[in-house]
Chain A
Amino acid sequence: MVLDIDEKSLKHGVLGLVIALVEVIRDALKLQAMKRMEGGSLTEEEVERLGQALMDLDVAIEEIKEEQGIAESVKSVRDGLDDIVDDVLDQMINPQRWKEEAEQRA
């Protein structure tokens, strides 16, 4: 099935969401890669290949975003996801506590 991507379709919605999630997964991969590297469980050659692969992934994602003109949509999806995470964290963290700690240190 060929995707007929045009402006009037849900490109900015669906594709934006997909690329946003791809970016999130890529970030998780980067994190894992860093942990392995810092943990010393990789050889220098392995790190080199890992780095190149991740770099290529970055370039590919940027190209898709530019070609399809969805960079802004992706950003707003990711900001939205950030907001959701923030809201969850807020329920657990009390801002009053920051103030109290700050007063103590002051």
Chain B
Amino acid sequence: MEPTRNSHATLVDLLDRVLDKGLVIHADLIISVAGVPLIGVNLRAALAGMETMLKYGVMTEWDERTRAWEREHRKKKEISAVPGEEIILEMLGSYYYSEGIYTAWRMGRIYLTDKRLIVYHPSFEEVLFETPLEKIKGVALEIEEKYFTAKERENLCLLLKSGDVVRLHALDTLKLKEALEQRMSTLGLGWQEVPSLAAHDERTASFLSQGEEAICSGKMWHLTSPRGIMAESWKPGHLYLSNKRLCWWYDFEGKVGFEIPLDRIVGSTVGTRNLRPTPKNSKVLDVIYHNDLGKQVASFAGDELWQWEKALNQIVLQPVLASTKEADTCPQCGREGQANELLEQGCVYCGWVSPRLRRQLRRSALDGAAR
């Protein structure tokens, strides 16, 4: 068995020694903050980047993956400048590393040279990321909302010609973007301002297939159907509309929990419903689609529902111009009507009402009576 030392995985072993041990000197000779440890235990875990891993609770996998990654990539890479290469801009920044479940912002120095963009970590002597400027296809500024603090931060998103998406953050992200764009135009390179990059994130990386692109995304709650002893309930996650399907990522399980291929979607509508346990009425997006069991409705709740409705109706109904898919037949009287109207308001001819609508009407009638 060979001992290891220079890897991210042994950072904690190093810190345990450098922070706590070594030669001891009499207190009156040295500067110290009496009684207060300069580096606390939790901070030490954070320094080693353990917190992210502990959050996912699957450190064994992470450790194996890190070791495998380290074995592959851990040749001490130094920046070798091409002769005549000049550094245009240099600043502190970080690079978003995402490989399976190991995701982290890795700190380093960002160098924009006249030929490349590099992120380098001097203490580890490691090149975290490097690309020649010609390989950059799209540039976008993305606003990332921090989960709990609700603070926003600007990230620089690069779409490379290889199809990879790279995320960087710098002390002055805007300045970096401008300098990068300036250099690229000086070199005569074109690039796209790609707003849809916002839809790419660590989740899409794992479930989008070849040729599939995410068009819209957003935080959405989904009403999951009854399963075993669990009743139907609203679960938090993220909804994605791509050029192939509508899928919903379940945060808790870390994977796609529900999806509909675009050609199965009939339409969508925003309605109001009484969502337990809150007594007030909330806006809900109902997506109507076909499956083997017939017509179904999937419900979502969140922000910007009208935008979603519009996007869905555009994407879905456009190729199917004339109303063939929009139309539907009333199950009671057999007459034709608009699909979403039938669901929302019932049949104008015979007064048939869908079970869902009936429940809704009953509930609001009860509310009215209670008041």
A interface residue numbers (CB < 8 A to B) = 2-4, 6-8, 12-13, 63, 66-67, 69, 71-72, 75-76, 79, 83, 87
Contacts and interface: CB of A to CB of B under 8 A. Distances in A.
A87 to B, nearest CB: 7
Contact of A72 (B57, B233, B236, B277): B57
Contacts of B55: 72, 76
Contacts of A63: 230
Nearest to A87: B41
A2 B57 contact: no
Contacts of B251: 69
* Size class of the contact patch on chain B: 10 to 19
A17 to B, nearest CB: 14
Contacts, number: 33
Contacts of B41: 83, 87
Contacts of B147: 7
Given A69-B251, A76-B55, 16 more contacts: A2-B277, A2-B278, A2-B279, A6-B236, A7-B147, A7-B236, A8-B148, A12-B148, A67-B230, A69-B235, A69-B236, A69-B252, A71-B252, A72-B56, A76-B54, A83-B42
A2 B280 CA distance: 10
B139 to A, nearest CB: 30
B219 interface: yes
A5 B41 CA distance: 32
Nearest to B250: A69
Contacts of A69: 235-236, 251-252
A4 B234 CA distance: 13
Given A8-B150, A69-B252, A87-B41, A79 B54 contact: yes
A7 B147 CA distance: 8
Select the residue from B148, B235, B251, B279 with max chain A CB neighbours within 10 A: B148
B54 A67 contact: no
A72 B277 CA distance: 24
Contacts of A76: 54-55
A76 B277 CA distance: 27
